[in-house]
Amino acid sequence: MNVFRPGNGKVQLSEAQIAARIRELGEQIKHDHAEQEPHLVCVLNGAFIFMADLVRAIDMPVTMDFLAVSSYGNAQQSSGEVELLKDLRMPIAGRQVIIVEDIVDTGITLNYLLRLLEARQPTSLKVAALLSKPSRRKVEVPIHYLGFEIEDAFVYGYGLDRGQFDRNLPFITSQA
């Protein structure tokens, strides 16, 4: 059985395409943070691979932390409610924070996180998201560093799960 087989849907992002775009995002983040080291906040679970590649594409000192929120469980639709499952270890007051998300779909999760972290008074609060599905948006949210805009399809691979499996695919794919 070959698990590294892409689906036959319209969204297909190869390992090389993802790597090239992340290199660009890393350069942009370095350029925008000449005055103070950025503090990257990874939103678990889906962003763990994006985070790992993104921090290595930023050629300057960075700090990082991790939080976890409830996603869809095994469903492919958002419940509309977000639950904080694991909070940050470090305070973010006075820091230049970048939230690192896998995908912005309805925007509900990111909106929740922006409110939560804004209240802790970071110097700045930005968002890096690998993927965005603008046609699905229910809440407008800013994305400062975006990997790829995609159409409405359920995608998986490169950290994103399909019923908890397929996070280990090195590419992003979708089904027909």
Residues classed as catalytic = 105
Nearer to ligand IMP, 35 or 140 (CB): 140
Q: Tell whether residue 98 is a contact of ligand IMP (CB under 6 A).
A: no
Taking CB under 6 A as the rule, which mask of x and - marks residues 22-61 in contact with ligand IMP?
A: ------------------------x---------------
Could you tell me the CA-to-CA distances from 47 to 4, 8, 93, 119, 176 in Å, in that order?
19, 23, 23, 23, 24
Residues 6+ apart with CB under 8 A from 176: 7, 8, 9
Residue 2 token pair = 């070959």
Q: Determine whether 98 is exposed, middle or buried from the number of CB atoms within 10 Å of its CB (0-12, 13-18, 19+).
A: buried
Which one among 54, 103, 114, 125 touches ligand IMP, defined by CB under 6 A?
103
Of 134-163, binders to ligand IMP (CB under 6 A) are: 154-156, 160
Q: Which residues bind ligand IMP (CB under 6 A)?
A: 46, 71-72, 78, 101-110, 154-156, 160
